[in-house]
A and B are shown apart, each in its own frame.
Chain A
Amino acid sequence: MSLRWLPLLLLATGCALDRSALEEPLVLESPLVAGGRLLWLDAPRTRLLTLDAAAGALTCSSTLDRPRGLQARDDDVWLLGETEGRPALHRRDLATGARSTLQLSHRFDTVVLGPGREQATLLATPAGVTSHGGLPILDPSRVAVVDSDTVTHVPIEAGGLATGAIYAPDGATVAVLLQRGVLLIDAATPSRHRLAHLDLADGTSLHPKEARFTPDGTHLLLLAEGTGDLLVIRIFASGDDFGAAINLLSAPVGPVERMLVLDDEHVAVVAGKTVSVLHLGGDTTKTRSRVLAARPLQLATQEDGILLFAGVNTERDGVGVAAWDPMEDLLDQAMLDGALVDARSVGGRIFVLHRGAEGYGLSSMVAEATGVDLRLRLRTYPLSGWPTALAQGRDDGSVLLGVHGGGADIYDGPVAAGTLVALEPGRDSIASVVLDDAIVEVGVVGESLFALHPSRLGDLTLVPAGDVRRSHTKRWEGIFAAELGACE
Chain B
Amino acid sequence: MSKQPLLVLGFILSLWACGEDGAHAYEPPPTLGDCQGDADCPSGLRCEASVCVAEDGRPPEQPPANASHLPPVSSPGWLWTLSPETARVTAIDPETLALRSFSVAADPVALAAFPNEDRVLVLSRHGASLTTIDLEGAPRLVRHPLHRRFSSLTLSPDGAWAVLWNPDGAPLDAGLEGLIQVVDLIGGPVVHERMVGRRPTEVFFRSADGVATDAVIVSKDEVAILELSTLSTEPLPARIPLDDGHREPTTRRVVASPDGTLLLLGSITSPTLLSVDVEARRLDRVTLSGPTSDLAFLQEREVVVAILRSEGRVAWFDVRDARIDPGQIFEEEVAFTYEGCATPPCLASPGQVRFAGPRHAILFSNASPTTAFATLNFDTRALEVVDALRKPIRDLVSGPDGAHAIVFHQATPSSRADPYERWVDESEGYSIVDLASGRTQLRLTGMATPHRVVFARGDRHAGVILRDPAASFFGVDAVDLHSMVPFSLGLPSLPEDGGPVTREGRIWISQRHPLGRISFVDLVARSMETVTGYDFNARIE
A371 to B491, CA, bound (A): 32
* Of A209-217, A244-252, A349-357, A447-455, the one touching chain B: A244-252
Cβ contacts under 8 Å, A194 to chain B = 540-541
Residues of A contacting B97 with CB < 8 Å?
234, 245, 247, 281-282
Interface segment among B320-328, B411-419, B458-466, B521-529: the answer is B521-529
Known A-B contacts A201-B85, A285-B489; the reply to A247 vs B540 at CB < 8 A is no
Expressed in whole angstroms, the Cα–Cα distance for A281 and B98 within the complex equals: 12
Provide the A182-206 mask, 1 if CB < 8 A to any CB of B, else 0.
0000000000001111111100000
- Contacting pair B529 A195 (CB below 8 A): no
In the complex the two chains form, is B533's CB within 8 Å of A247's CB?
yes
Range of interface residues on B (Cβ < 8 Å): 20 to 34
Decide if B530 touches A201 in the complex (CB within 8 Å): no
In this assembly, does A84 line the interface, its C-beta being within 8 Å of a C-beta of chain B? no
Separation of A234 and B491 alpha carbons in the complex (Å): 22
Contacts of A282 in B (CB 8 A): 97, 519, 528-532
Query: B85 contacts A286, CB within 8 Å?
Result: no
The answer on a CB contact under 8 Å between B528 and A198 is no
> What 1/0 mask marks residues of chain A from 238 to 260 whose CB sits below 8 Å from any chain B CB?
00000111111110000000000
Q: Is the CB–CB distance between A246 and B490 below 8 Å?
A: no
How far does the alpha carbon of A377 sit from the alpha carbon of B98 in the complex, in Å? 45
Bitwise interface map of B from 61 to 99 toward A, beta carbon under 8 Å scored 1, else 0 = 000000000000000000000000110000000000111
Q: How far is the CA of A62 from the CA of B457 in the complex (A)?
A: 72
Known: A229-B532, A244-B540, A282-B531. A201 touches B98 (CB 8 A): no
Given contacts A196-B540, A246-B540, contact A285 B535 (CB under 8 A): no
A425 to B492 Cα, complex, angstroms: 42
Chain A residues contacting B489 (CB-CB under 8 Å) are 284-285
With A236-B98, A284-B530 already in contact, the answer to whether A246 and B519 are too (CB < 8 A) is: no
Known: A201-B86, A281-B529. Contact between A195 and B540, CB under 8 A?
Answer: yes
In contact, A196 and B536 (Cβ under 8 angstroms): yes
Q: How far is the CA of A248 from the CA of B514 in the complex (A)?
A: 12
* Residue from the list A231, A236, A250 in contact with B492, Cβ < 8 A: A250
Q: A201-B86, A201-B514 are in contact. Are A195 and B541 (CB under 8 A)?
A: yes
In contact, B527 and A248 (Cβ under 8 angstroms) = no
User: Which residues of the other chain, A, contact B99 by a CB distance below 8 angstroms?
Assistant: 245
Complex partner residue of A245 from B98, B490, B491, B492, CB under 8 angstroms: B98
Within 449-479 of B, Cβ neighbours of A (below 8 Å) are at none
> Which residues of the partner chain B approach A412 to less than 8 Å between Cβ atoms?
none
Task: Say whether A315 faces chain B, with CB atoms less than 8 Å apart.
Answer: no
Residue of chain B at shortest CB distance from A236: B98
Question: Shortest Cβ distance from A360 into chain B, in angstroms?
Answer: 44
A256 to chain B minimum Cβ distance, whole angstroms, is 13
Give the shortest distance, in Å, between B483 (CB) and chain A (any CB).
19
Shortest CB–CB separation between residue B125 and chain A, in angstroms? 18
Q: A283: CB under 8 A from chain B? A: yes
How many angstroms from the CA of A229 to the CA of B515 in the assembled complex? 12
Q: A46: shortest Cβ distance to chain B, in Å?
A: 40
A249 to B529, CA, bound (A): 11
Which residue of the partner chain B has the closest CB to A199?
B539
Q: How far is the CA of A236 from the CA of B540 in the complex (A)?
A: 13
Tell me how far the C-beta of B85 lies from the nearest C-beta in chain A, rounded to whole angstroms.
Answer: 6
- The answer to whether B98 and A248 touch across the interface, beta carbons within 8 angstroms, is no
Question: Contacting B98 at CB < 8 Å: which of A157, A243, A286?
Answer: A243
B43 in the interface (beta carbon within 8 A): no
B445 within 8 A of A: no
B530, A197: Cβ atoms closer than 8 Å: no
Residue contacts A-B, CB under 8 angstroms, 6 given: A196-B539, A231-B536, A243-B98, A248-B532, A282-B519, A282-B532
Besides A157-B541, A194-B540, 5 more A-B contacts (Cβ < 8 Å) are: A197-B541, A200-B515, A201-B85, A231-B533, A246-B537
Which residues of B are at the interface with A, using a C-beta cutoff of 8 A?
85-86, 97-99, 489-492, 514-515, 519, 526-533, 535-537, 539-541
Q: Which 3 A-B pairs have the closest CB atoms?
A: A282-B530, A197-B539, A248-B532
